[in-house]
Structure 1
Amino acid sequence: MSVRSATTSTAVATLLGAGALLLPASQTLAADRHDSPVVFAHRGASAYAPENTLAAVDAADDLGIDWVENDVQLTKDGELVVMHDTNLKRTTDAEQIYPDRAPWAVKDFTAAEIAKLDAGSWFGTQFTGARVPTLKQYLHRVEKNHQKLLLEIKSPEAYPGIEKATLRVLRHEGWLDRGHVRNKLVIQSFGGDSVKKVHELRPDITTGFLGTPAVADLPSYAAFTDQINPSYSTISADYVAAVHALKGAHGKPLRVNTWTVNDAANAAKVQGFGVDGIITNYPDVVRDATR
């Protein structure tokens, strides 16, 4: 039985309240900072299905998780694909299919070549034949499931122009209209210049910086981002409070979504710190520990 069919019976009972869908992503991702942080399914529900595949999106949906997180990179021919690592080795059979193409960097392959790869077998035989989705395909599945997207621009230094390319696909697929921008989309990156570029190109979009800047440096980030999204191992209640004390690019208090929390104890701990959201491979575990 697939993850999707196995968890369907629990999905209805665990869906998030519909009222949250009406609120701007940059302002109201959580009803209360100290209660019920928003749960983000990291690379989809990647504990239950191969990361960044459509199966992982569906697994998150079956668990009743509204928000999924993904990573985007550019292929040799300028297509955006959903992939975490900058090479294809860990999560596909690229070494077997293209044995003479080391180091199997995403940027050295065309979208058509990547589409031939098996991105599921490494995780489990039941996922054999899963593909690396394009961003377009991924957006279609998220939309079909009525979910929301925390999109990470991966390694922007390796992909000049990836910000414009990402916005172009989002616009073409209808994700830059008012409803999506206000309620269903956040763009983040470890690259501060990349986040700044997205803000310059589309100042209406909610953005997040991945990392833990020094408190003294937070005001400079607040000029172009709405969220500071740090590793859970780097934060404290004082740090979260320092972030919340500042207003971000849209004039609202900066928010904190922390990653990657995969157990109930640490979920409860960061909830106590007052984080707004938790990014996790086990969204059901974190949701149950913090509601």
Structure 2
Amino acid sequence: MHVRPLRAAAAPLLGLALVLTGGTASVAETPAPAPYALDAPVVFAHRGASAYAPENTLAAVDRAAALGVEWVENDVQRTKDGELVVMHDETLERTTNVKEVFPDRSPWRVKDFTAAEIAGLDAGSWYSAAYAGTRVPTLRQFLDRLRGNGQRLLLEIKLPELYPGIEVDVLRTLGRAGWLRPGYVDRRLVVQSFSADSVRTVHALRPDLTTALLGTPAVADLGRYAAFTDRINPWYGGITAEWVAAVHDLQGPHGRPLEVDAWTVDTAAAARKVRDMGVDGLISNRPDLVRDAVAGY
């Protein structure tokens, strides 16, 4: 049985974080959620329910909600004019019609287009004609849809080396959308990245927020990250039960054992295999299949 609190009691906010979010209450006023026990890993819908709808779109969010999946994972990047949009790839080529609309703008990188230009792209036809006209959402649109659906968010800061200062932008948007208030920051939100520096920055700005480092560090190196991350989230095919146990043996910045959410687990057999390794969460394009395989939620 996994005992996995979503969050621990947090340290006081840094002054900068209050400026960024417009907050006035100290984190000490936020009650620490009680630990709870689960018999199975938590299931996250990877880029929304992306096996059933175009990834990282509101349609994928809604599909996850229809499947009863509470946690949604997404990817965030920044446009040329500073808007945060939900997109996985560095370029717009694979999941939009950008080549047709802007044939002379190769290599079609997200950071080279304005928010208005991206908003006009078709982000659904590549997946299915049924989703023609689906748009790339802004982070704010994505957050508002999740709130409306009663869902939770595992947010990945994608390629932060391309977007200096994106951590501040992400926190500002989360704050304006109400996701840094008690009940959200302490229960409904995790921010992750492959960049340890980015995760460290988020933790420094909002020490109350749960963070996750993507990757599979060597056991000898795990302790280097425990000061600023609550979770180590690896590719499921590269881990062992011993590695998971080594992560759990460490305490994170909130004084509780580090957790492990494995990606991208899309078959029943893989889900059961990593469940038996003791992971805390499964990130999946087929969250309903995985949930049913491990009796998760």
Q: TM-score, normalised by structure 1?
A: 0.90
* 1:31 aligned residue (14, 17, 37): 37
Question: By how many angstroms is 1:249 displaced?
Answer: 1.1
Listed as ranges, the gaps of 5+ residues in structure 2 are 9-32
3-state SS in 2 of match to 1:212: coil
Q: CA RMSD in A?
A: 1.4
Contact 1:29/1:277 (<8 A) preserved: no
Aligned to 1:83: 87
C-alpha distance in 2, partners of 1:159/1:250? 28
Please list every run of at least 4 consecutive aligned residues from structure 1 whose deviation after the TM superposition is greater than 6 angstroms.
27-30
Question: By how many angstroms is 1:31 displaced?
Answer: 2.8
Q: Matched residue pairs, number?
A: 268
Question: By how many angstroms is 1:30 displaced?
Answer: 7.2
Q: Would you say 1:256 and 2:260 are equivalent positions?
A: yes
Aligned to 2:24: none
Q: Would you say 1:101 and 2:105 are equivalent positions?
A: yes
Q: Would you say 1:273 and 2:280 are equivalent positions?
A: no
Question: By how many angstroms is 1:92 displaced?
Answer: 0.1
Aligned to 1:40: 44
Question: By how many angstroms is 1:25 displaced?
Answer: 4.1
3-state SS in 1 of match to 2:156: strand
Contact 2:235/2:264 (<8 A) preserved: yes
Contact 2:7/2:254 (<8 A) preserved: no
Deviations 1:31-83 (A, max 9, x none): 33xx3100000000000000000000000000000000000000000000000
Contact 1:30/1:38 (<8 A) preserved: no
Aligned to 1:153: 157
3-state SS in 2 of match to 1:270: helix
Contact 1:79/1:134 (<8 A) preserved: yes
3-state SS in 2 of match to 1:255: coil
Listed as ranges, the gaps of 5+ residues in structure 1 are 1-19
From the superposition, tell whether residues 146 and 276 of structure 1 become closer, same or farther in structure 2 (CA, over 3 Å): same
Aligned to 1:178: 182
The structure richer in helix per residue is 1
3-state SS in 2 of match to 1:174: coil
Matches within 5 A, 1:183-222: 183-222=187-226
Deviations 1:93-137 (A, max 9, x none): 000000010000000000000000000000001100000000000
